[in-house]
Structure formats: structure tokens, C-alpha cells
């Protein structure tokens, strides 16, 4: 369709003060919502939860043994916050994304996905190794005529520690657990960088 559009005017008389045309807090066009101000603040909150839970994950990895159980809970908070930050982001933009942001977002979700799969596989391998070790100890006790009254859960925990401590530095360095930590750090770093490099005041209307 061609023609001279220089003299075209838009009639705003069909919009009253209740129309979103006069509301800076959201946009409603073609039966679609976008640029919703409230979701921007929700997105910022979840991004800060990602930042803080990531720090919690790092700290609990080097904390004393009695705090180790917190590591998985910080990880769950991290993953859930990442999911909700992604959901809220879909309602605060309608202009597309720059290539650098897309690459950063790919690093975030790629690191999260592969890192999560890596640690699940690692835990399954540790579980199998620990069960095998406990089974061998029970057979040894049985062959020696020792009555087994041990706590199996405690035996499994002890076996996991024994399996972990038996690994060489090379096995620790080139492991699924190291891959998990590296990729989650890459994922966390992208969000952390954007938090401190972005205007989070909400004054964007």
C-alpha cells in the first residue's frame, strides 16, 4: 500500500481518561499487555533474590559441615527466582532485545540448565558408589559374624564422605560437580552484572 501519509492525523477523541493511552503504568494494544510497571519491580526483586541466593550457595560450599544442607536450599531459591524473573520480564518490554542481552540471557539459561543436569548426574553417581560401599561393608560384617545394628542412613552418609575423600585432585577438578559450580557461576554472574549496571529505580515511563 502506497500513498502520501504526511497529512494523516490520529483521532484520540475515542479515548477517555480511563484509557491506557493516558496511563503510564501499562500498555494495552491489539489485545496484548506489555510494559507493566508493577512487573518491573517484581522482576527486580527476583533478580536480587538470584543475586543473594547465589552468594548463599557459594558461602555454604565452604562453610562447616553442619551448614552444608543449606546449599541445596539456596540452589532451589536460585532456580525458582530465575524462573519467576524470566516470567516477569516478558511483561516489561515490547521493543525486542539487543544481541548482547540475548547472548547474556543464553549464558544464564544455558549455565542453569546444564549445571543443574550435571549436579543431578553427580549425585546419582555418588549415591550408587555409596550404596556399593555400604553393601560391601555389610557383607564383610556378615562374613565375620558381626550383628549389624548400624543406622543405614548414617552408613550411606559416611560412605559418600569416604567416596568423596578418596578422589584425587584431578578427579575433583575435572568432575561434574566442578562443571556444575562453574556453569552456575557463569549463570549467576550475568544477572549480577546486569543488576549493578541497570537503572532499577523504575523511572522509565
d(C-alpha 113, C-alpha 119), whole Å: 10
Q: Range with the lowest mean pLDDT among 7-11, 21-25, 42-46, 109-113?
A: 7-11
Q: Residue 3: pLDDT above 70? A: no
**What digits encode the pLDDT tens for the residues 142-196?**
666 555 555 666 777 777 777 777 777 777 777 888 888 888 888 888 888 888 8
Kindly report, residue by residue over 19-60, the tens digit of the pLDDT.
555 566 766 666 666 677 778 888 889 999 999 999 999 999
Residues 125/186, Cβ–Cβ less than 8 Å: no
112 or 97: which leads in pLDDT: 112
| Cα separation, 82 vs 80, whole angstroms | 5
Instruction: Dig out the grid coordinates for 53 from the structure.
Output: 541466593
17 pLDDT more than 90: no
Going by C-beta distance under 8 Å and a sequence separation of 6 or more, which residues neighbour residue 205? 24, 25, 37
Measured CA to CA, the distance from residue 31 to residue 28 in angstroms comes to 6
Looking at residue 54, its pLDDT comes to: 93
* pLDDT for res 2: 53
> What 3-state DSSP class applies to 184?
helix
Reported as a single tens digit per residue, the pLDDT across 124-144 is 888 888 778 777 777 776 666
* Residue 146, Cβ density class (10 Å: 0-12 exposed, 13-18 middle, ≥19 buried): exposed
For residue 167, give the DSSP letter. Answer: S
- Specify the pLDDT at position 96: 63
pLDDT value at residue 101: 72
pTM (two decimals): 0.62
Q: Provide the 8-state DSSP code for 162.
A: H
* Residues 77-105: tens digit of each pLDDT: 998 898 888 888 877 776 666 777 778 77
Q: Where residue 18 falls among pLDDT bands split at 50, 70, 90? A: low
Reading the block at residue 98, the C-alpha cell is: 539487543
Would you say the C-alpha torsion 162, 163, 167, 173 has a positive or negative sign?
Answer: negative
Confidence at residue 53, expressed as pLDDT on a 0 to 100 scale: 94
Amino acid at each position: 500500500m502506497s500513498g502520501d501519509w504526511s497529512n494523516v492525523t490520529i483521532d484520540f477523541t475515542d479515548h477517555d481518561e480511563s484509557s491506557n493511552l493516558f496511563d503510564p503504568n501499562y500498555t494495552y494494544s491489539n489485545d496484548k499487555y506489555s510494559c507493566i510497571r508493577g512487573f518491573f519491580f517484581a522482576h527486580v526483586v527476583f533478580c536480587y533474590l538470584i543475586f543473594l541466593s547465589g552468594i548463599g550457595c557459594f558461602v555454604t560450599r565452604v562453610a562447616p559441615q553442619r551448614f552444608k544442607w543449606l546449599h541445596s536450599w539456596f540452589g532451589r531459591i536460585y532456580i525458582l527466582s530465575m524462573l519467576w524473573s524470566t516470567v516477569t520480564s516478558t511483561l516489561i518490554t515490547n521493543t525486542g532485545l539487543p544481541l548482547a542481552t540475548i547472548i547474556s540471557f543464553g549464558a544464564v539459561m544455558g549455565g542453569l540448565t546444564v549445571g543443574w543436569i550435571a549436579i543431578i548426574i553427580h549425585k546419582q553417581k555418588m549415591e550408587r558408589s555409596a550404596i556399593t560401599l555400604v553393601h560391601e561393608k555389610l557383607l564383610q560384617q556378615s562374613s565375620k559374624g558381626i550383628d549389624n545394628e548400624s543406622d543405614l542412613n548414617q552408613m550411606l552418609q559416611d560412605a559418600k564422605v569416604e567416596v568423596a575423600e578418596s578422589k584425587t585432585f584431578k578427579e575433583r577438578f575435572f568432575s561434574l560437580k566442578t562443571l556444575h559450580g562453574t556453569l552456575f557461576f557463569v549463570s549467576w554472574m550475568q544477572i549480577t552484572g546486569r543488576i549493578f549496571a541497570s537503572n532499577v529505580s523504575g523511572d522509565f515511563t
